[in-house]
Amino acid sequence: MLDWAGSSLLVDVGNSRTKWGLGKNGRIEPGEPFATETFNNNAETLACCWQSALPPVQVLVANVAGAEIARCLEAWTQRHWGLAPQFIRSEAAGFGVRNAYLSPGKLGVDRWVALVGARHTRQGPICLADCGTAITVDAMDAEGRHLGGVIAPGLMLMRRSLVAGTSALPFAGVAFHDRLARETSAAIVSGTLQAAAGLLERCFREAAIRLGSETRLLLTGGDAQAIAPLLEIPFEVRSELVLEGLLMIATHRRPE
């Protein structure tokens, strides 16, 4: 049972899915994720998740889905709770993390917040992979200095691009069974999973060269569990890392 009294509502708005949870006393109680399009297509789903509860003390949001989604979210919280959400922005430095981007505000806010979460949940240097609509990988040293990162298409984007860019590669969304597949749809699944795993392993090796042998790989995002079995390096899955970062920010910020 989610306890709303005195809680902060933490919302991770991705391009495809929105994850949320209640943060209180240093803990997160995650709620049921829903499709991001719900914000402008299906307000009833939001009502089922949120409306019957007490208003939270604050709403913190990491939003990468655009301005229209942000307006829909703000309209909902204002209408039902009289509460304006705080939309987190990437900063040059804060919460123990120093941003490596030449224009710090251009770092995706989900990456920034995940780095904040990682900084406060894992000691030592890390390689952080967020496996969602896009796959992002970032490196950070033991003092919280971000080194930079890479962005690649996520599994579904890779698969859709193959189908869209060719005339003879059907994709039926079949399950992955073997690395060397014997029919086309399975080969697409296998190929994209191996491409993602190879990217993560290559980035991890580069991070370890620069940061040392204590570097650890953290996985988050909706496709982390699908990619993880193919990895041949040690890793830890932190499914709620963006929410953990939002909680850390909520703890150290006054409600606006």
Residue-wise pLDDT for 139-157, tens only, equals 999 999 999 999 999 999 9
List 60's β-bridge partners, or say none.
10, 86
pLDDT in tens, 202-256: 999 999 999 999 999 999 999 999 999 999 999 999 999 999 999 999 988 654 4
- B/e letters for 124-135, b = 16+ CB within 10 Å, e = fewer, are ebbbbbbbbbbb
Amino acid present at 130: D
Q: Which of 67, 68, 50, 47 is nearest to 59 (CA)?
A: 50
Indicate the SS3 state at residue 225: helix
- Cβ–Cβ under 8 Å, residues 74 and 84: yes
What is the CATH topology of the domain spanning 8-87? Nucleotidyltransferase; domain 5 (3.30.420)
* Euclidean distance between CA atoms 13 and 67, whole angstroms: 11
The residues near 101 (Cβ < 8 Å, ≥ 6 apart) are 90, 107, 146, 148
pLDDT in tens, 45-90: 777 778 767 789 999 999 999 999 999 899 889 988 999 999 999 9
pLDDT-based confidence at 177, cuts 50/70/90? low
pLDDT at 256: 46
Q: What is the 3-state secondary structure (H, E, C) of 18-38?
A: EEEEEEECCEEEECCCEECCH
* Euclidean distance between CA atoms 2 and 10, whole angstroms: 13
pTM: 0.91
Amino acid present at 71: R
Domain ranges of the chain: 8-87, 123-240
Tokens matching residue 95: 């919460």
* Euclidean distance between CA atoms 14 and 253, whole angstroms: 23
List 219's β-bridge partners, or say none.
129, 237
pLDDT in tens, 2-60: 677 789 999 999 988 999 999 998 899 999 899 888 887 766 777 777 876 778 999 99
CA distance between the termini of the chain = 27
Amino acid present at 12: D
- Asked whether the domain spanning 123-240 has the same topology as the one spanning 8-87, the reply is yes
- Structurally, at CATH architecture level, domain 123-240 sits in 2-Layer Sandwich (3.30)
Tokens matching residue 127: 């390689």
Active-site residues, by number, are 110
* Euclidean distance between CA atoms 190 and 155, whole angstroms: 10
